[in-house]
Homo-oligomer: A and B are copies of this chain.
Amino acid sequence: MVDIATRVHNHKWKIDPIVRSLIDTDFYKLLMCQSVFHNKPDTQVSFSLINRTKTIRLAELIDEGELREQLDHIRTLRLSRGESTWLRGNTFYGKRQMFSPDFMQWFENLQLPPYHLEKRDGQYELTFEGNWPEVMLWEIPALAVLMELRSRAVLQQMGKFELQVLYARAMTKLWEKVERLRGIDTLRIADFGTRRRHSFLWQDWCVQAMLEGLGDKFVGTSNCLIAMRREVEAIGTNAHELPMVYSALAETDAELAQAPYQVLADWQREHEGNLRIILPDTYGTEGFLRNAPDWLTGWTGIRIDSGDPAEGAETAIRWWKERGEDPREKLVIFSDGLDADKIVDLHSRFAGRVKVSFGWGTLMTNDFRGLVTDDALAPFSLVCKAVSANGRPTVKLSDNPNKAMGPADEITRYKRVFGVGEQERLEVVV
């Protein structure tokens, strides 16, 4: 029997919306948003799309009208009653009422602010300006929309069975990784792949496959909507945007040197336990740890998000030992450019020496490499970053100069202030 009503209803949609919920975003964006809402609500920021993979000319692949329709659709979204209930009532990281009533009330009334879009040199310039708590929530949906529109542009050319076989191959590929990872006894792994996913439905499938294939070893997803629907943990802590904006706001070099620690001081007031995770690489891990105040050594762990991950973990272990901490009690979260092989290697190298956990991103939710001609579905390196705060440019150095951003003179200044010397250049895959 054909369900005529469903079919007729489906044809009434003007578009097939990619992002259908304000909580189809990363959990850490909401944690950070609340922190910003309480600590820096009036900061004026600007976020910009940056396509690091220049060979992919997004403005030639993706129709501007379709992009606008998707972004406009996101601006029509409001937090639904069920979503609000879940955020208010759910236990996150073992804590009830993670989100305060004043923040929830603000979120329930939120509409995402306007965007600015134009084409330049085959790329889209997409920027968002306004109050930090509002603007920051554009990052993930904007990336997800662009990634999925690019997927759709390629899929558009394919026949019905080609499509079926494409997804069959992608499923097989992920499942082989799951079978590989299943062999690691003490694995703890989470989905961090929302921002550069192939599509929403594909991410949702991947999460379910991880859940069935890995059981308890799969600890959750960064995606709030999927966490809610699939009844798994929402995972995430904080990101570079906090130190980047705090640093841009610093009035003097002395304030700048302290800004990254100020971020964590604010964070510590709000969060404990597994939410106290240091992200040390914004202006170089070595210097950050060397100059860190003693109270930071008590934090639960560290997230390694750039540079050589094994080296980063060794640096953290050395630091804990120097400060009299037992690394075996500390958590190291790897989250940069992971795939099954790297996960297996890193786990075997560090398990037992520290507590190890993985935030698996793009190569979990978008490993379509090698599946179509010209590799037209291979993931690429698209980000959406805070580029200025109260009119001043932001800077990121990270542990890989290929991931650095900001004006050249400001980069020089930040390197001086944070004592960053020569850095190894590593290819940024995704």
Interface residues of A (CB under 8 A from B): 1, 3, 5-6, 9, 159-162, 164-165, 167-169, 171-172, 175, 208-209, 212-213
Collect the chain B residues with CB atoms within 8 Å of residue A1's CB: 3, 5-6, 9
Contacts beyond the supplied A161-B208, A165-B175: 8 A-B pairs with Cβ under 8 Å: A1-B3, A1-B5, A161-B209, A161-B213, A164-B209, A165-B171, A168-B169, A169-B172
A-side interface mostly: helix
Residues on the B chain within 8 Å of A159, using CB: 212
* A212-B158 Cα distance, complex, nearest whole Å: 11
Picked from B5, B9, B168, B171, the residue with its CB within 8 Å of the CB of A175 is: B168
Measured in the bound complex, the distance between the Cα atoms of B9 and A390 in whole Å is 63
- Collect the chain B residues with CB atoms within 8 Å of residue A209's CB: 161, 164-165
Q: How far is the CA of A380 from the CA of B1 in the complex (A)?
A: 36
Instruction: Give the residues in chain B near A175, CB-CB below 8 Å.
Output: 161, 165, 168
- Pairwise interchain contact B161-A172, C-beta atoms closer than 8 A: no
Distance (Å) between the CB of A170 and the closest chain B CB?
A: 8
B172 and A165 form a contact (CB under 8 A)? yes
Task: Name the CB-closest residue of B to A1.
Answer: B6
Smallest CB–CB gap between A226 and chain B, Å? 15
Which partner residue on chain B sits nearest A164 by CB separation? B171
A to B CB contacts below 8 Å, 27 in the list: A1-B3, A1-B5, A1-B6, A1-B9, A3-B3, A3-B6, A159-B212, A160-B212, A161-B175, A161-B208, A161-B209, A161-B212, A161-B213, A162-B212, A164-B171, A164-B209, A165-B171, A165-B172, A165-B209, A167-B168, A168-B168, A168-B169, A168-B171, A168-B172, A168-B175, A169-B172, A172-B172
A427 to B159 CA separation, bound complex (whole angstroms): 39
Docked Cα-Cα span, A169 to B213, in Å, equals 16
Alpha-carbon distance A264/B167, docked complex (angstroms): 49
Assembled-state Cα–Cα distance A169/B1 (Å): 29
Q: Which chain B residue has the least Cβ–Cβ distance from A211?
A: B161
Residue among A3, A169, A171 having the largest count of chain B Cβ atoms under 10 Å: A171
A172–B164 CA distance with the chains assembled, in angstroms: 9
> In the docked arrangement, what's the CA distance between A161 and B205, Å?
9
